[in-house]
Structure 1
């Protein structure tokens, strides 16, 4: 739980600085489908979105990648084994604590190929999960536009 003062400091940082994050484009080895979670938190709440999260202060990218794979997928993965997808920018009109502050992410995107049975998907960030074929991603109004960008 973030305290009031911590929330105020974090909000100030979000208002003035871009955040760095890693998005995981998760493809099932057997079906070729991609994993999306229904976002519970702002920004991008109430949309299907790929798993991922912020890089923490003083955390190197390899450690961040492994931490996020464990947290978001329930399986420990390593960045050198992932396929580099590129750098993206995500801009939002809101932020984690509500409205009134915009959020800017610099996103490092990686594709990981997994065996569905290996995943242990948690429910902290996403309330449910869905596997989607590439064609269905672009057609869905509920997939967030920033996640769609990975498949264009």
Structure 2
């Protein structure tokens, strides 16, 4: 179930969101990142992912998100849970007047996919990153880096 912008703002202002992040690794052990187009984390390299909506199971959300974010519908059984994470942002999708809090389930997926076939609604540009570069450059968001520092 999707909410109107005004109801969604009220939810974000008052509760954490639950989301799934997709840590996609290719056969060369590179990680897929995209430049975020929207707040929060706008302008940073970030993993694909999205929130779980009301009355949607984690398995349903995973399939919907892989289709929307990667262009390929996968099953939850195709991934490995790397753990729960928390993300705290000073802004929200509509502005800077209140913060956003996510409880994120990080899932690792092995997948070779052509960058040119990826959807561009949430990320304006994609790139495969080797681990050393991902961890060293400033424009990879620190929450993305945490998926690899904690392992």
Whole-angstrom CA distance in 1 between matches of 2:18 and 2:102:
6
Shift of 1:120: 2.8
Query: Which ranges of structure 1 fall in alignment gaps of 5 or more residues?
Result: none
Whole-angstrom CA distance in 1 between matches of 2:115 and 2:130:
20
Counterpart selection for 2:127 from 130, 135, 142? 130
Partner residue, 1:49: 46
Partner residue, 2:102: 105
In structure 1, the residue corresponding to 2:103 is in which secondary structure?
strand
Whole-angstrom CA distance in 1 between matches of 2:4 and 2:86:
25
Counterpart selection for 2:29 from 28, 32, 37? 32
Q: TM-score, normalised by structure 2?
A: 0.94
Partner residue, 2:12: 14
Asked if 1 retains the 8 angstrom alpha-carbon contact of 2:25 and 2:111, the reply is yes
Aligned residues: 148
Asked if 2 retains the 8 angstrom alpha-carbon contact of 1:85 and 1:109, the reply is yes
Asked if 2 retains the 8 angstrom alpha-carbon contact of 1:75 and 1:119, the reply is no
Q: TM-score, normalised by structure 1?
A: 0.93
Show CA shifts across 1:28-76 (max 9, x none).
12x1100001000000000000000000110000010010000000001
Counterpart selection for 1:150 from 139, 144, 147? 147
Flag the 1:83–1:147 CA change in 2: closer, same or farther, 3 A. Answer: same
Shift of 1:6: 2.1
Whole-angstrom CA distance in 1 between matches of 2:103 and 2:134:
22
Quote the RMSD (CA, aligned, Å): 1.6
Flag the 1:118–1:41 CA change in 2: closer, same or farther, 3 A. Answer: closer
Flag the 1:84–1:119 CA change in 2: closer, same or farther, 3 A. Answer: farther
Query: Which ranges of structure 2 fall in alignment gaps of 5 or more residues?
Result: none
